[in-house]
Amino acid sequence: MVKNIKWIWWVVGLMVVAIAGIVWMQVNWIRENIKVVEDQFDTEVYSALNNVINEIENREGGFDMIPEELRGVIDADSTLHIENLESILSTTELDNISDQNISFRQLRALLEKQVLERTVNSNLENRPITDLIDLENLDNSIKHHLRKRGIKTDYHYGVFSNRESNFVIMDGNFIVFPDLDAEATLTEYNLRLLDSPYASDLFRTSSGALGKLIIEFPTRSRFILKRIISNIILSVLFIAITLFSFLYTVITIFRQKHLSEMKTDFINNMTHEFKTPIATISLAVDSMQSPAIQKSPEKINRFAKIIREENKRMLMQVEKVLQMALLDNKSFKMSVSEVDMHQLLRQAKKHTELQINQREGKVKLSLNATRHILLADENHISNIIHNLLDNANKYTEQSPYIEISSRSDNNGIYITIKDNGIGMSKEQVHHIFEKFYRVPTGNVHDVKGFGLGLSYVKAITDAHKGDISVKSALGKGSEFTLYFPFENNFSLKNN
Domain residue limits at 266: 222-326
- Is residue 15 domain-resident? no
pLDDT at residue 238, rounded to an integer = 85
Per DSSP, the three-state class of 408 is strand
Q: Which of 296, 326, 356 is the last residue of a domain?
A: 326
Residues 347 and 472 occupy one common structural domain: yes
From 300, 326, 352, give the residue that closes a domain.
326
If phi > 0 it is left, if psi is from -120 to 50 it is alpha, else beta; for residue 172 that is left
Specify the 3-state DSSP secondary structure of 479: strand
Q: What's the CATH number where 299 sits?
A: 1.10.287.130
- Give the CATH number, domain containing residue 387: 3.30.565.10
- Residue 297 lies inside a defined structural domain of this protein: yes
Q: What is the DSSP string of 386-397?
A: HHHHHHHHHT-S
Quickly count: other Cβ atoms within 10 Å of residue 200's Cβ. Answer: 15
Note whether residue 113 is domain-resident.
no
Residue 401 lies in a domain: yes
**Do 480 and 344 belong to one domain?**
yes
Sheet with 412-418: list strands edge to edge: 362-367, 401-408, 412-418, 478-485, 467-472
Residue 94 inside a domain? The answer is: no
Query: Which of 326, 357, 380 is the last residue in one of the domains?
Result: 326
**Does 420 share its domain with 365?**
yes
Which residues, including other chains, have CB under 8 Å from residue 26's CB and lie 6 or more apart? 235, 238, 239
Please indicate, yes or no, whether residues 296 and 372 belong to a single structural domain of this protein.
Answer: no
Q: Quick count: other Cβ atoms within 10 Å of Cβ 294?
A: 12
**315 lies in the same domain as 356:** no
Return left, alpha or beta for 374; rule: phi > 0 is left, psi -120 to 50 is alpha, else beta: beta
In a shared domain, residues 314 and 339: no
This prediction has a pTM of 0.45
- Does residue 436 share a domain with residue 410? yes
Q: Is residue 460 part of a domain?
A: yes
Beta bridge partners of residue 334, listed in sequence order: 494
Q: End-to-end CA distance of the chain: give it in Å, rounded.
A: 46
Same domain, 262 and 353: no
**Does 318 share its domain with 340?**
no
Round to whole Å and give the CA distance between 216 and 244. Answer: 43
Q: Per residue of the chain (495 residues), give pLDDT as tens.
A: 545 667 777 878 888 888 888 888 888 888 888 899 999 999 999 999 999 988 887 765 444 444 444 444 444 444 444 445 445 444 444 444 444 444 445 555 555 555 555 555 555 666 777 888 888 888 899 999 999 998 888 888 988 888 878 888 888 887 755 444 444 444 555 667 888 889 988 887 767 788 889 999 988 888 888 888 888 888 888 888 888 888 888 888 878 877 777 677 667 666 766 776 787 788 888 888 888 777 788 888 888 888 887 787 677 667 666 666 666 655 566 788 899 999 999 988 888 887 788 788 999 999 999 999 998 988 889 888 988 988 888 888 888 999 999 999 999 999 999 999 988 888 888 888 877 676 665 544 454 555 667 888 888 898 889 999 999 988 889 999 999 998 765 554 444
Task: Tell me how many domains the chain contains.
Answer: 2
Judgement on whether residues 319 and 282 belong to the same structural domain of the protein: yes
Residue 132 lies in a domain: no
Instruction: Tell me if 56 is assigned to some domain.
Output: no
Assess whether 458 and 367 both reside in one domain. Answer: yes
Between strands 493-494 and 333-334, the pairing is parallel
Do 279 and 356 lie in one domain? The reply is no
